[in-house]
Each structure stands twice: as C-alpha cells, then as structure tokens.
Amino acid sequence: MKHTTPPALRFLEESLRDLESQSLLRKRPAPVSDGSLSFCSNDYLALASRPPPGRSSGSGASRLVAGERQEHVDLERAVAELVGLPEALVFSSGYAANVGVISALAAPGDILVSDALNHASIVDGARLSRAQTLVVPHRDVAAVADALKARGSRRAWVVTESYFSMDADVPDLRALRGICDEYGAALVVDEAHALGVLGPDGRGLCHEAGVIPDALVGTFGKAFGAAGAFVAGCPALAQWLWNRARTFVFSTGLSPAVAAAARAGVEASLKEPERRGRVLAAANQLRRGLTELGVSPRGIGPIVPWVIGDPAKAVRLAKGLREAGIDVAAIRPPSVPAGTARLRLTVTAAHGEADVARALGVFADVLGREPR
C-alpha cells in the first residue's frame, strides 16, 4: 500500500512543517516503560496499575437502549455519595461529560461565563451550546459579576474548574457561588483534578468550601485510576442529561469492567487515605526542591507547573530529562496560552522521597547545561 498524502490533504504537510518550525509539533511518545520515573501522570493515587475486576468488557449499546448495567448504577451511587450530591450520571470520558452537560444545559440566547483557563472540553461544550460565551480573566470573580450584571434577563451559566490542570491554582468557589446566587446564575464546577486528592477525604474543593454547585463534573481517569467521568447534581439534572446530553445519549455505555474499576478506585481513595498523604508529601518535597534550584513552581497540590515561556526551551529541557530517565511533559500552546510553555510535573502516591530526590538531582544537571 502506498503511504503518500492524497492530493486533497497535501495542505496538512505544510501546516505540520509550520508547527515543527515553531517547536509546537506534538509527536507520538515512546510507550511508557518500566525503567523511567514518570512525573507526568494524572494517576495521583497510584491506582491505575491495579488489575481490572473481572467484569464484562463492553456494555453493548447506549444506556438508553440496552447498555444499562448494574456497574453503572453502583458507580453512580458511589460518586454521588462521594461528592454529597443526590444523583450522578456516568459518561465515557471527562471530555464527553463536559461537552454533554454544557451543551445540554446552555442554549442559544443564554450567556455562559467561562474562565480563560478552562479545559478544552468546557470550551467545546460552550461552542456546541451556541450560548453567547464570555471568557473572563483567570479566577477573576469581579469580571464574572460584571458579566452577570450586564446580561439582562437571559439565563446564565458560570463554568470553572476547581483545581486548574495547567496552573495548579484554585478559584474562590464560595465567592462564585455567592455571585451566582445573587444574579440567578447556575454554577458548573469541573473537579477533574481535585477529586480523590484535594478537600476532606479527597471529596473535592466544593466540599471543602461548603459550596453546592448546580452541576459537578468529576473524572475516573485521574486519581481514581480508571477511565470515564460523571456529572452530579439534583435528580432533575440527571434526568435531563439522560434525555438531552448528546455525548451520553448517542454513545455506548461505559465498559462495565471500567465502571467497576472506577468504583474500586473511588472506594480505595476513601479507605486508603495514606495514598493521599504520600502524593501530597511528594508534591511538597518537589516544590521545596525546585524552589531551592531557583525555579518558582506555581500553585498547590500534586500538579507542579514550571513555566519556561519558550516552547523550544521547554522541549529541550523535557528531552534532557527523558534522556536521564525522568519522564516529564512539555506543555505548549494551544494547551496553554502563547508565551507560557511549561514543564508540567505531577507526582503520585507511587513517588517515594528517594524518587523525588533523584528527579531533583536530574533537574539540577539539566538546568546547569542550559545557556545562561
């Protein structure tokens, strides 16, 4: 078979060359190997490598048709209990959950106020909803209030992450809830990177702030070590999503094996709090060590962003680290704003003190080789 680019797709070759020349081309990495020490996994509680429970691999159909399984029901009950909300609905990924919930709720004529650093799945949900989207500066509560004040009688939605995945910082959820209540808007919070790790018993940052969002999104592919996601809220929300969230209605139900693994992950996060202790201790050690190296890591918790700026330098540093056996992701635009390319380090409960110390030694070496 010939592997030439068909004429109608030749323009891609030029676009790819263009990305390469700006150090923005992403290439398939080598499969994760056992020998290297990874600082770029979202498996915060180190639960992903546990063997899967012996359950059916597929659900065979959309949940609405013939794909409903007891594993979905049990998982939904467990996560609703985890976040302290009445009901939850399981989606096949966090991407699908955000696109599904936002496009099922917001409609043309509404306004949707979205933090500038919200995840791409929130951005895409907003686009699909065809609501008027107002992007406000990162964590700017006053800008949210101004947008809500100016909207007249239109229905309004405020969407934020609770623990921002690229900056490791946290919005003022209590203030956002207060503003939403004052101006009659709904609050949607994505807790993808917080659940399992942050807040009391890892129940998330809404729980910690005493905030009840109108919809809460969580994922199973990060701290809970499986895949899939959920949206939690009141019974009317769950029923509406069952009927109107297109990424739920028109998609095969989550694999029962994965649903069972996700529930085991949620249970482990509650029954094995020492995992949370280990990941947070590793994060503190890494932050302290980087600060001693003259790097100022941003934020709090298991995500430790080291902003470099220049994408070529971020790629060069990541390559040097990889060659020394330390796996680190260079994050470049469009995943982060232009000029803020970074190394996004993450720690997990599998990192011991010696692992973090070894990584810090390699960081010092690689930094020492950079031109001053």
Ligand X SMILES: Cc1ncc(COP(=O)(O)O)c(C=O)c1O
Q: Which residues bind ligand X (CB under 6 A)?
A: 93-95, 98, 119, 121, 161, 165, 190, 192-193, 219, 221, 229
Query: Of 72, 119, 207, 351, which residue is the catalytic one?
Result: 119
Nearer to ligand X, 101 or 238 (CB): 101
Cβ neighbours for 22, distance < 8 A, ≥ 6 positions apart: 311
Q: Say whether 149 is catalytic.
A: no
d(CA 276, CA 281): 9
Q: Say whether 72 is catalytic.
A: no
Residue 306 pairs with which residues in a beta bridge? 343
Q: Say whether 27 is catalytic.
A: no
Nearer to ligand X, 95 or 248 (CB): 95
Nearer to ligand X, 202 or 320 (CB): 202
Q: Say whether 161 is catalytic.
A: yes
Cβ at position 227, least distance to ligand X in Å? 7
Cβ at position 335, least distance to ligand X in Å? 10
- CB neighbours (10 Å) of residue 189? 28
Cβ at position 229, least distance to ligand X in Å? 5
Q: Say whether 165 is catalytic.
A: yes
Query: Of 87, 110, 167, 190, which residue is the catalytic one?
Result: 190
- CB neighbours (10 Å) of residue 123? 17
Query: Of 92, 98, 193, 355, which residue is the catalytic one?
Result: 193
Nearer to ligand X, 95 or 306 (CB): 95
Nearer to ligand X, 67 or 221 (CB): 221
Cβ at position 136, least distance to ligand X in Å? 17
C-alpha distances in Å from residue 259, one per residue of 121, 181, 289: 21, 34, 38
Cβ at position 173, least distance to ligand X in Å? 15
C-alpha distances in Å from residue 342, one per residue of 148, 171, 311, 331, 361: 33, 21, 7, 5, 19
- CA end-to-end span of the chain, whole Å? 50
Q: Say whether 42 is catalytic.
A: yes
Query: Of 93, 222, 351, 355, which residue is the catalytic one?
Result: 222
Q: Are 146 and 183 contacting, i.e. CB atoms less than 8 angstroms apart?
A: no
> How would you classify the pairing of strands 215-219 and 229-233?
antiparallel
* Structure token digits, residue 248: 């739920």
- C-beta nearest to ligand X: residue: 94
Report the catalytic residues: 42, 119, 161, 165, 190, 193, 222
